[in-house]
Each structure stands twice: as C-alpha cells, then as structure tokens.
Chains A and B, each alone.
Chain A
Amino acid sequence: AQKITQTQPGMFVQEKEAVTLDCTYDTSDPSYGLFWYKQPSSGEMIFLIYQGSYDQQNATEGRYSLNFQKARKSANLVISASQLGDSAMYFCAMKRTGNEKLTFGTGTRLTIIP
C-alpha cells in the first residue's frame, strides 16, 4: 500500500521568502510518480510539479522545485520568492505504474504574510 505523509498542517511565511513544504512517502513499487497540487479556497486542484521515481534530476517549474531524495523517500516542494497568491492548501500525491489512482497526503495550509 502507498502512503503519503505531510507533517506540517499549517505554515506562515513572510512574502518574498522561500518556503519548503515537507512530504514523505512509503511504497514498495519500483516505479511511481510524485505530484504536488495547490488548492486555493475556491476548491480547484491546480497541478504544480511532477517527479518520476527514475528521474535523476530534481524537477523545476518556474518558482517551484521539488527536492527529491529517493533513499529517504522524501519529495519536498520548494517555493522561491513567495507571493500573496501562494496562500492555499498544498497536497503531495503519488501514483504507481499500473494504477491511475492518486494517493494524497493530508495537506499543508500555507499562509503568506505581507
């Protein structure tokens, strides 16, 4: 079975600072994908970034980067130069080859302070 753990229920960060959101996962599958989604108060889940289990380099997408440490089974999201619009819930998720099901963590509520 797969499991995602997000240990930070809430975080407050000053605007323009960098922030790291923690995610650890547990799986016995050799091939899997890790995803981060942002959910504003409107409810829609917005895809941010993806990391494959066989990818050698950490994924980056604009201000978002994923700090992937396979041996430690962690996939932390780093947001550089945070903005007020980054205030939202952030979910880490994974799926394995052979199954479209996404397993989500409990999320981290990020609040950016002006």
Chain B
Amino acid sequence: KAGVTQTPRYLIKTRGQQVTLSCSPISGHRSVSWYQQTPGQGLQFLFEYFSETQRNKGNFPGRFSGRQFSNSRSEMNVSTLELGDSALYLCASSSGLAGGNAPTDTQYFGPGTRLTVL
C-alpha cells in the first residue's frame, strides 16, 4: 500500500504571497490532519478533515485554511504569507474508524512540505 504523499516537497515564496500544499492519504483512509513544525513552536496541529468536513481546528489565524475532496485528498492554503510561516508542513492520514476519533486510530505521516518564506 502506498504511503501518504505530499506535494511539493519544497517551496520558496515571498512575503504576501499565497501557497497551496497538497496531500494524498493512504488508500482507504478518510481522515487527513495537518501539522506545522517549527524549531521554536515544535509540532502544532492545524486542522483535521473527515469526509470533506473540517472536524477539528487548531489555534491558527484564518490565513490558514484547508479542504478535502471526495477522494479524501486534501489541500491546505496559506494566504498573505509571513516570515513566521516558514516551516515543515506535515500531513497525516488515518482510517477514521467508526466515524473517527478513536484513540486507537494511528496517524501515518507523509514526508512533509518544507516552506521557506523570504
């Protein structure tokens, strides 16, 4: 079974621009979560989508948004980029068993997209 894939792997943008990151989950997985990893803040949860609906959201400004398609693929968008948005963005998928939210449902991560904002 193929793992979680993320594109692109690397991105360089300038302040004020916007960016879209893509994530394809493991086949059969219906839940996709996004995380931001920075040296200063560590790993922080952005949001989670299940069956095309945002089910959970972290504490990030509205410039960070996402969506999920009917095939469970997900995109996240960051508008009006700031220097502090430079980070590794990780996507994770899980099965979402029994409607999701089971503590046993393991999240499997993709390789990440490294975003640099200049």
Contact = CB atoms under 8 A, between A and B. Distances in A.
A43 B78 CA distance: 21
Interface string A73-93: 000000000000000000101
A64 interface: no
A28 B48 CA distance: 22
Contact of A99 (B35, B94, B101, B106): B101
Interface core residue of B35, B94, B104, B111 (most chain A CB under 10 Å): B104
Nearest to A42: B111
Contacts of A98: 101
B43 A104 contact: yes
Nearest to B111: A44
Interface string B48-73: 10100001101000000000000000
Chain B CB within 10 Å, residue with most, of A44, A47, A97, A99: A44
A102 B111 contact: no
- If over half of B's interface residues share one DSSP class (helix, strand or loop), that class is named, otherwise mixed; here it is strand
A95 B103 contact: yes
Contact of B92 (A33, A42, A45, A50): A45
**Listed residue (A91, A100, A101) with the most chain B CB atoms within 10 angstroms of its CB:** A100
Contacts of B48: 100-101
B111 A33 contact: no
B110 interface: yes
B59 to A, nearest CB: 11
B109 A45 contact: yes
B114 A43 contact: yes
A101 B108 CA distance: 13
30 contacts: A31-B103, A33-B103, A33-B105, A35-B106, A35-B107, A37-B109, A43-B88, A43-B90, A43-B111, A44-B109, A44-B111, A45-B92, A46-B109, A47-B107, A47-B109, A50-B106, A52-B103, A91-B43, A95-B103, A96-B103, A97-B102, A100-B48, A100-B100, A100-B105, A101-B56, A102-B35, A102-B43, A102-B45, A102-B107, A107-B42
